[in-house]
Structure 1
Amino acid sequence: MNKYLKAAGVGFGLSQAATLITTVYLHRTLSHKSIELSPAATMFMRFGTWMLTSISPREWVAVHRKHHNFSDEHGDPHSPHIEGYWKIMLANVYYYRREANNDDTMEKYAADLPFDKLDHALLRRGTLGFSLTGVLLAWIMGTRAGLVAWSTLAVVYLLLNAAINGAGHTFGEKSFENDATNLKLLALITFGEGLHNNHHARPAAPRFSAFKGEIDPAWPVIRAMEKLGLARVLTKVDEGWENHRRRLPEPTKIRPGAGIEVAAMNSSRD
């Protein structure tokens, strides 16, 4: 196999590792507190976030919590119904950074996650961590192959996050009455994040799959971590799906373009 194809495969694998860390640590552990990690697992996740995503956990949590507070209404940091579908799909990172730079958002939505000494000394410098990953890849694989792997990691990770925020609020299936949607294929390569309608129905659920035919690939990983003493599930797994939000009689399919109608409805409420 061409060495550059292998390098791209390495980059894709690293993007999957970054996505797993995002859903287990940034999302389910820090944002919604449905899982508790051991000190060793927490440290691993912190450095993994630093080296593979360049994200500040405190910023990610604040932006995500605000997204839930204003989901697809004015105030949502990255709604395709407000900003436009293609703007979110192609420039999601811009909208994330714009909100993350808002001091009021940090103070209001992440007051429980103050920066500690390690953050101040190192982990707040996300660009440094991600650059270190690039240097290591170039050293191990050679400059060009390492650059291919590093670029693949960045592009795939950003695209997957954009798809969750963009496609996951525009088309797919709905089991619950909220503006997010379920995209089962996307869920397979985002460790369950594509089951976005389920997540918005019950944000504190530690497992995103709710019904037959839905797969949350992160869930077996979390269960394995539990058995190893690296994690503990804090919230209910199976109870509450029927009662937390009223389930629609049958899953409804949302097609591309339907977001225009939703946007119009949102604007009519303002």
Structure 2
Amino acid sequence: MRLFNPTASVAKGDQLTPGWLKSGWLYLLLLPALVWGFSSLSVERSVASVLLTVFTVGLGHSIGLHRGIIHRSYRCSRLLRGVLAYCFVHSGLGGPLSWVRVHYFRDYWQNRPDCPAYFRYDHSIWQDYAWNLHLALRPADEARYAIPAEDLHDPWLRFLERTWYWHVLGAAALIWSVFSFEAMIVCVCVRISVTILGHWFVGFVSHKYGYARYDIDQATEHGYNNFVLGALSFGEGFHNNHHAHPSSAKMSTAWYELDLGWYLIATLRALGLVWDVQVVGQTPTQKPQAKARAYRWHWPWQE
């Protein structure tokens, strides 16, 4: 397994280093979830956990960070932008600027023919688990990824990047003290463990298996769409659509693709909280390198 071989796994000069905070955070939450999670489950706690997931993953990650800050698929006030970034923090996925950086690193390489192994998906699920959940990329030259300076130097995002885990731990302590230990286990440990592992799993599968209706010229990774994962991940599982239409606030392109994240954006637009929303089929969202083609399917048994 090529875990710490920068020559084989990343571009020359870049380094893969142990992501102690990332992997330590995962197991800090996963172990209590495995020990006490099942016995702590109840209808009320499960409903509360699902609602928190809608706010933190749906509004915070998919809508606020991914479609809003990174891809600028809509415009909104700085106040709402900051609120959605704070919702993202409580998803437990990490600091917002770390995720912004990783997204730009990944997009840069996946849209090139010389994509290094770390950003390709021609390896096993176990190697991807080891790489993506336990390692961190240290680029030799971050400037080549053209990350917007307004994001990197945003005071609120920088504050959240330094302190994100304290907000999550503070919420855990508050839930424990106000409600119960069991509520904290379900609403924090179980929810965030499922979020971290689910986000990784959706990303892995959506780059390897499913159906695609677009090819991206000169790109190593084109992504795939998945009916079930797309619905469960607020639309993030429609990855081929997203690779072809990165600036679209709507990740679904067909009636049978359920993008719950789009309905959240549509609700915000109806309330007048977001505007200039970019939508596939209504505004120019398709990248020039993307070419529509007949359906292409790829499943594990075809390998």
Give me the TM-score of the superposition, normalised by structure 2. 0.73
Q: Does the CA-based 8 Å contact 2:61-2:87 persist in structure 1?
A: no
The 1:255/1:157 distance shift into structure 2, 3 A limit, reads: same
Structure-2 residue corresponding to 1:161: 199
Closer/same/farther in 2, CA of residues 152 and 165 from structure 1, 3 Å limit: same
Q: Identity of paired residues, percent?
A: 19
Which of the residues 189, 201, 206 maps onto 2:244? 201
Query: 1:71: which partner in 2?
Result: 110
Alignment of 1:41-52 (within 5 A): 41-52=80-91
| 2:75–2:275 CA contact under 8 A, matched in 1 | yes
> How many residues in Structure 1 have an aligned counterpart in Structure 2?
254
- Name the CA shift for 1:242/1:182 in 2 (closer, same or farther; >3 Å): same
Q: Give the Cα separation in 1 of the matches to 2:96 and 2:264.
A: 21
Note the alpha carbon deviations across 1:177-215, whole angstroms, 9 max, x for none: 153100111111111001001000111112111123112
Instruction: Identify if the C-alpha distance between structure 1 residues 11 and 80 changes in structure 2 by more than 3 Å, giving closer, same or farther.
Output: farther
Residue of structure 2 in register with 1:267 after alignment: none
Work out whether 1:255 is the aligned partner of 2:295.
Answer: no
Deviation at 1:148, TM superposition (A): 3.1
Per the alignment, residue 132 of structure 2 pairs with 92
The farther-off stretch of 20-29 and 30-39 is: 30-39
Q: Is residue 37 from structure 1 mapped to residue 76 from structure 2 by the alignment?
A: yes
Equivalent AA in structure 1 for residue 96 of structure 2: P
SS in 2 for 1:246: strand
Give the letter for the 1:105 counterpart: E
Residues 187 and 135 of structure 1: CA distance in aligned 2, closer, same or farther (over 3 Å): same
Partner of residue 25, structure 1 = 64
Contact 2:212 2:240 in 1 (8 A): yes
Deviation at 1:125, TM superposition (A): 1.3
Q: 1:171 to 1:59 in 2, by over 3 A?
A: same
Change (3 A) 1:51 1:33: same
Deviations 1:128-161 (A, max 9, x none): 1121121122123312331232111111111221
SS in 1 for 2:41: helix
SS at match of 1:213: coil
Q: Which residue of 2 aligns with 1:126?
A: 164
Corresponding residue number in structure 2 for 1:139: 177
| CA-to-aligned-CA distance 1:164-189 (integer Å, 9 cap, x gap) | 32001111111111531001111111
- Indicate the residue corresponding to 2:18 in structure 1: none
Measured after TM superposition, the shift of residue 105 of structure 1 is 3.4
What is the identity, as a one-letter code, of the residue corresponding to 2:68? Answer: T
**What's the offset of the Cα at 1:36?**
1.6
Q: What displacement does 1:75 show? A: 4.0
Letter paired with 2:67: R
Instruction: Give the 5 Å matches for 1:181-200.
Output: 181-200=224-243
Residues 90 and 8 of structure 1: CA distance in aligned 2, closer, same or farther (over 3 Å): farther
With 141-150 and 118-127 compared, the bigger mean Cα shift is at 118-127
Distance 1:237 1:156 in 2: 30
CA root-mean-square deviation: 2.9
- Superposed CA offset, 1:35-93 (max 9, x none): 12223322211221223325222221121122112118534754332x53223346633
What does residue range 204-215 of structure 1 map to in structure 2 within 5 Å? 204-215=247-258
Equivalent-residue separation in structure 2 for 1:118 and 1:185 (angstroms): 35
Separation (CA, whole Å) in 2 of partners of 1:107 and 1:87: 27
Of 59, 65, 86, the residue aligned with 2:98 is: 59
CA deviation string 1:76-117 (max 9, x = no partner): 754332x5322334663324xx03x54743784424213344
Equivalent pair of 1:176/1:246 in contact (CA under 8 Å): yes
